[in-house]
Amino acid sequence: MSDYRINTKCVQGGYTPGNGEPRQIPIVQSTTFKYATSEDMGKLFDLEASGYFYTRLQNPTNDHVAAKICDMEGGTAAMLTSSGQAANFYAVFNIANCGDHVVASSTIYGGTYNLFHVTMRKMGIDFTFVSPDCTEEELNAAFKPNTKAVFGETIANPALTVLDIEKFAKAAHAHGVPLVIDNTFATPVNCRPFEWGCDIVTHSTTKYMDGHGAGVGGCSGSGGSFFSTSARSAARRSAISFSIWSADTLTSPGAPAGASWAGASTAACSGMFSGAGGSGADVSGAGASAGPVSNKLGWGFSSGLTFNFSSAIRYLLF
């Protein structure tokens, strides 16, 4: 729905019912999904067929919500998480590993600051916090050889500081790393960071997107341009993970049918994708522990199973 205004996307984005289907997005409240035979189920696990089998990995309702937010932001793919903190954690943690470094704005949500300054430092990831009003020289001086990402908030919570997204994007890209922006306070109604050079957008949907104080949630989405053009992205392969506590999904509103992507997965892939643009996209990857993997998915990403089936699912993007 790229040609529609944001007001229309708020109402119509992410879901286009067919003849005889519900006009409103149905809430699919089921942990599992039925298949006629064990062979049918096996095809899902072997990625020989697309479909749903466990809500922690994917759920039709979540697919539509993620696609709507993605459409509103103007991104290429998005996924839901159990909270905004989960979205920020996965967006950063799958880019930066133990021994890596991240540059972040100093005026960010207190919970996110503690996540970075305390929790993720215990995991071996270092952070340098810079003032959002810093000069370009001061911002560039914060980068290190092991810097993997830059993080900021469109409008800081609760300081209400407005980030110069273009300045931070320019510095990030000059150093070959993506810019991650938490767009919770602005929402895509007021600002769409992808239009200003951002590469990954996160949300705490608990705030304005929920609007009623009724549900905790989060979302993380990719703009796609950095990961398809950056020379360093081929080596780094930004990744997004599924929350282990909620029904999460990675969804594209315009996945081309029959398209082909390639990449390296660390193990046999588990989980499915869906895209409104068409199914049957082919994804191929050389699995380090499982040999070559050929996946028939609705949206084409290499993907690998991390830890075990009951924990986080890691998806390597682009």
Q: What pLDDT sits at residue 227?
A: 63
CB 53 within 8 A of CB 44: yes
CB 287 within 8 A of CB 270: no
Q: Which of 9, 15, 54, 56 is catalytic?
A: 56
How far apart are alpha carbons 278 and 256 in whole angstroms? 6
Element at 291 (helix H, strand E): strand 291-297
In sequence order, what are the residues at sequence separation of 6 or more whose Cβ sits closer than 8 angstroms to the Cβ of residue 304? 265, 266, 267, 268, 269, 285, 287, 314, 315, 316
Residue type, 197: G
Is beta strand 101-105 parallel, antiparallel or unpaired with respect to 239-241? unpaired
Give the Å distances, CA to CA, from 18 to 23, 272, 316. 9, 22, 32
Class of domain 59-251: alpha beta
Q: Which of 182, 248, 314, 315 is catalytic?
A: 182
Q: What pLDDT sits at residue 211?
A: 86
The domain ranges of the chain are 29-55+254-318, 59-251
How far apart are alpha carbons 26 and 128 in whole angstroms? 44
Q: Which of 43, 144, 170, 207 is catalytic?
A: 207
Q: What pLDDT sits at residue 285?
A: 28
**pLDDT in tens for each of the 318 residues of the chain?**
668 899 999 999 999 999 999 999 999 999 999 999 999 999 988 989 888 989 988 899 999 999 999 999 999 999 999 999 999 999 999 999 999 999 999 999 999 999 999 999 999 999 999 999 999 999 999 999 999 999 999 999 999 999 999 999 999 999 999 999 999 999 999 999 999 999 999 999 999 999 888 999 999 999 987 765 543 443 333 333 322 223 333 444 443 333 322 222 222 222 222 333 333 332 222 222 222 222 222 222 222 222 222 222 232 232
How far apart are alpha carbons 274 and 271 in whole angstroms? 10
How far apart are alpha carbons 153 and 34 in whole angstroms? 42
How far apart are alpha carbons 50 and 297 in whole angstroms? 6
CB atoms within 10 A of CB 121: 12
- Could you confirm whether 182 is annotated as catalytic? yes
Q: Which of 15, 54, 90, 109 is catalytic?
A: 109
Per residue in 16-31, is it b (16+ CB within 10 Å) or e — as a string? eeeeeeeeeeeeeeee
Q: What pLDDT sits at residue 229?
A: 54
- Could you confirm whether 56 is annotated as catalytic? yes
